[in-house]
Chains A and B, each alone.
Chain A
Amino acid sequence: NAGVTQTPKFQVLKTGQSMTLQCAQDMNHNSMYWYRQDPGMGLRLIYYSASEGTTDKGEVPNGYNVSRLNKREFSLRLESAAPSQTSVYFCASETGTARGGYTFGSGTRLTVV
């Protein structure tokens, strides 16, 4: 029972570099989400995908892009990393009925220098 798998777990980038965070779930969930966690600010929604083929902006989408590759996979891309994007990133999924709780991945700790 893998649940939600995120890769990589850790990453250090130089300012201006690009990278893609990968997320996959094996629970046949419809909805998937990307959050960032910063001290004292809780989790802030970056982008979400309510169902396969759709994506929408969350609270803090600037500097990010996403792709819902198929029902299982939802990737987050940083085109030109900035120090302000240093954070812990979490992917989550849910059934999409709006009544369920999220299942979270273990997170990616990203440092931009």
Chain B
Amino acid sequence: AQSVAQPEDQVNVAEGNPLTVKCTYSVSGNPYLFWYVQYPNRGLQFLLKYITGDNLVKGSYGFEAEFNKSQTSFHLKKPSALVSDSALYFCAVKNTGGFKTIFGAGTRLFVKA
């Protein structure tokens, strides 16, 4: 069965500092991995995805994520955080050929000015 774990309920960083939001997954076969962001009272927006190829994936708003197969992780990163990055972030996984995407519980990112 597929599963996603986001071990931190909340991540606090100062503006200008690098940020990391952690995600680990479990899936049979090769995974498709995704990050989504939800701003207050809004729907979810797609940030980036890993399908195959380069382990470092670049996405919207300066975010990137690193796929690590041996550690079954897909951590979200940004070199310099902005206050406007404060939001709820969801990691998600889908197995190859599947239709169902499973989401993690979410991590709230708070960036302090």
Contact = CB atoms under 8 A, between A and B. Distances in A.
Interface of A: 31, 33, 35, 40-45, 48, 50, 56, 58-59, 90, 92, 96, 98-107
Contacts of B44: 43, 90, 92, 102, 104
Contacts of A106: 42-43
Given A40-B105, A42-B90, A42-B104, A102 B51 contact: no
A50 B43 contact: no
Interface string B71-113: 0000000000000000000100010111111111110000000
Contacts, number: 58
B contact residues, range: 20 to 34
B45 interface: yes
A42 B106 contact: yes
Contact of A98 (B4, B42, B46, B97): B97
Given A42-B90, A43-B90, A99-B32, A107 B96 contact: no
A98 B97 CA distance: 6
A98 B100 CA distance: 9
A50 B99 contact: yes
Interface of B: 4, 9, 32, 34, 36, 42-46, 49, 51, 90, 94, 96-106
A31 B99 contact: yes
B43 A90 contact: yes
A42 B49 contact: no
A93 B5 CA distance: 23
Given A44-B103, A90-B43, A104-B44, 19 more contacts: A33-B101, A35-B103, A40-B105, A40-B106, A41-B105, A42-B103, A42-B104, A45-B100, A45-B102, A48-B100, A50-B99, A59-B102, A90-B44, A98-B96, A98-B99, A101-B49, A102-B34, A104-B43, A106-B43
Contacts of A59: 102
A92 B4 CA distance: 19
